[in-house]
Amino acid sequence: MEPHISPTKQLLRWILRQFRDLDGYLSTFASKLFPTEYQIQGTCKKRGVCCHQIAIHLSKGFWRVPTLRKLSRNYYELVYNFSLVKEESDIQVQVFRCNYIQPDGQCGIYTRRPHICRNYPQARYFGRPTFLPGCGYSTVRTKDT
Ligand code: SF4
């Protein structure tokens, strides 16, 4: 559900979503050009669990500055319509839930969902990808070290 926000915030949200989507297209293109050493396998079980526990990793330098952490929170709340659930300082992660998730676990904006959702799960360039318990996806390593 979309919360009521002022016309100014609506405009800001619209502008930031254009940059977000451009970044999403470019990231998708880059991941096709430069695949990681892990290949995703499996299928989505359509439970919506990942929409309730969206982990956003921040760099250590970013995490140390409260204003930047707040900026990250405000960004995901405004642009993605997420709500902060908790912060995990030891791993520099902000955990959000999405306000578009429906009671039946389906996405309320499926055809216009952002790239972060379309590409989930996307193997990161550094470190072994991890998945939420019960997720239908896993990874296989495609290259030797
Ligand atoms: S936009 Fe849809 S797919 Fe993405 S987190 Fe929200 S409910 Fe899930």
Indicate which atom in ligand 1 lies nearest the CA of residue 48. Answer: 8
List the structure tokens of 46: 């359509």
Q: Could you give the CA distance from residue 73 to residue 135 in angstroms, rounded to a whole number?
A: 25
Q: Could you give the CA distance from residue 59 to residue 50 in angstroms, rounded to a whole number?
A: 22
pTM for the model stands at: 0.85
What is the distance in A from the centroid of ligand 1 to the CA of 36?
A: 24
Cβ-Cβ contacts under 8 Å for 80 (sequence gap 6 or more): 20, 96, 98, 114, 116
pLDDT, tens only, 5-46: 899 999 999 999 999 999 999 988 888 888 788 888 888 888
pLDDT, tens only, 55-97: 899 999 999 999 999 999 999 999 999 999 999 999 999 999 9
Strand partners for 57: 93
Nearest CA to ligand 1 atom 8: 51
